[in-house]
Amino acid sequence: MSASSDEPNAQPAPGTLQELFPALARPTPSLPLEPLHPRVLTVEEPEGASLVLTCWRNPGGAAGLHAGLRPKVEAALLAELSRPASELVELTHELRFLRLAVFDEISGDVPAALRAFGLTPVSLEAVQDSGGWRDALAHLRGEAQRLGHVAPDDPLSAYQADILLPARTADGIRALELALRLRLGTEVFGTRPGALYAHLAALTPECLGITLTPTCEGLAALEHELGSLTPGPIRFIPPAIFQALCDFVAVIAAREFQRRVEWAPSDADELGLSPPPLVRAHLDNAWVHIPLGLHLLRWCVMPVQPGEVVPPLADWVLDQFGQR
């Protein structure tokens, strides 16, 4: 890890996507047709890219479906948000949909089980009329055949979540993301602690009209531009901005709260997956590993439920790194 201060002898904790979500590491050709398909497909469409999940068989009712989908949804989103800058320069699609195709009857309140992921029912007529859905289902049938199974042409039910930027600042966010991608080049989270935040701070005055400081106050100003409290959709933060936001949090911990913080470089693993942003901080006289990427995904990206009150991200940062 790259450190903000002393370099202790403690070893870094697991932080790759494979270690956080082991199903990603399993080789697809040797898999049986499990209730939930281990792979999440990415399908590019005119409106943007979709992430497609598959339920082949009843995974244990609505509760089992929720429990099985949660790590897959989080892993798929984190894989997209953790793409290195070298990939992002060439990336042309923006995530727009999360989709789930279900090929079996599932007992219980399935819509309630899927609400946490922003997934709502889609009519089969709409599925048949959608080029994106048709492409996804064709890929799924192909994967099933490679595993020695025959998949039905159409699912029994289908669900979809929108993945959206906040409407009022979407143009500024897209401009900031593009400028940040170009500025980062091959920069990887954690290689130079604070570098992504520095680039972000240099670009936000022009793109978003705000000036950042390495404080919770500065974080609140950025969250106001990036965040959305609209219930329902997945609240997208583009990858370069997301990684810089994680870097920003670590910088606040080191500067405002005077914590010793070490950054784990997000170098790609043997499968080409870049681990989500991870740091460790010296808290309560011990080194604690903090998966910033996963924390910020759950706090800032996953859907808000109707009536839910989401505290500011700065509150979490204060609770995590403030003096106790």
Q: Do 124 and 56 have their domain in common?
A: yes
- Alpha carbon 137 to its chain's center: 23
Task: Take residue 182 and report the two structure tokens written for it.
Answer: 């170009």
Q: Do 148 and 193 have their domain in common?
A: no
| pLDDT level of residue 239 (50, 70, 90 thresholds) | very high
Q: Do 183 and 131 have their domain in common?
A: no
Whether residue 89 lies inside any domain: the answer is yes
> Which of residues 12 and 19 earns the better pLDDT score?
19
Domain end (from 99, 134, 164) = 164
Whether residue 17 lies inside any domain: the answer is no
Whether residue 26 lies inside any domain: the answer is no
Percent of the chain with pLDDT over 70: 90
What's the chain's average pLDDT?
89
| Rounded CA separation 55/36 (Å) | 5
Give the C-alpha distances (Å, rounded to integers) separating 83 from 37, 78, 188, 266. Answer: 23, 9, 9, 9
Q: Do 172 and 274 have their domain in common?
A: yes
| pLDDT level of residue 151 (50, 70, 90 thresholds) | confident
Q: Do 235 and 89 have their domain in common?
A: no
* Contacts with 168 (C-beta within 8 Å, 6 or more apart), sequence order: none
Q: Give residue 324's pLDDT.
A: 58
Average pLDDT over residues 247-256: 97
| Rounded CA separation 151/286 (Å) | 51
The DSSP bridge partners found for residue 231 are 304
Give the containing element (helix H, strand E) for 317. Answer: helix 313-321
| Rounded CA separation 167/203 (Å) | 20
Q: Do 317 and 304 have their domain in common?
A: yes
The DSSP bridge partners found for residue 43 are 50
- Size (the chain), residues: 324
The tens digit of pLDDT for each residue in 198-226 reads 999 999 999 999 999 999 999 999 999 99
Domain end (from 164, 179, 209) = 164
Whether residue 24 lies inside any domain: the answer is no
The tens digit of pLDDT for each residue in 92-129 reads 788 999 999 999 999 999 999 999 999 999 999 999 88
Instruction: Tell me the three-class secondary structure of 104-151, residue by residue.
Output: CCCCCCHHHHHHHHCCEEECHHHHHHCHHHHHHHHHHHHHHHHCCCCC
Q: Do 131 and 190 have their domain in common?
A: no
Q: Do 41 and 157 have their domain in common?
A: yes
Strands 234-235 and 120-122: unpaired
Q: Give residue 9's pLDDT.
A: 43
Whether residue 25 lies inside any domain: the answer is no
End-to-end Cα separation, the chain, in angstroms? 25
Domain end (from 136, 164, 192) = 164
Q: Give residue 29's pLDDT.
A: 46
- DSSP 8-state class, residue 52: E
pTM over 0.85: yes
How many distinct structural domains can be found in the chain?
2
Count Cα atoms within 13 angstroms, Cβ side, for 183.
19
Q: Do 177 and 280 have their domain in common?
A: yes
The residue range of the domain holding 172 is 2-11+166-321
Whether residue 16 lies inside any domain: the answer is no
| pLDDT level of residue 268 (50, 70, 90 thresholds) | confident
Number of H helices, E strands in the chain: 12, 10
Q: Give residue 14's pLDDT.
A: 53
Task: Write out the E strands in 130-260.
Answer: 157-164, 234-235
Q: Do 142 and 241 have their domain in common?
A: no
Task: Take residue 105 and report the two structure tokens written for it.
Answer: 């009857």
Is pLDDT at 252 greater than 80 in this prediction? yes
The tens digit of pLDDT for each residue in 152-198 reads 888 999 999 999 999 999 999 999 999 999 999 889 999 999 999 99
Is pLDDT at 139 greater than 60 in this prediction? yes
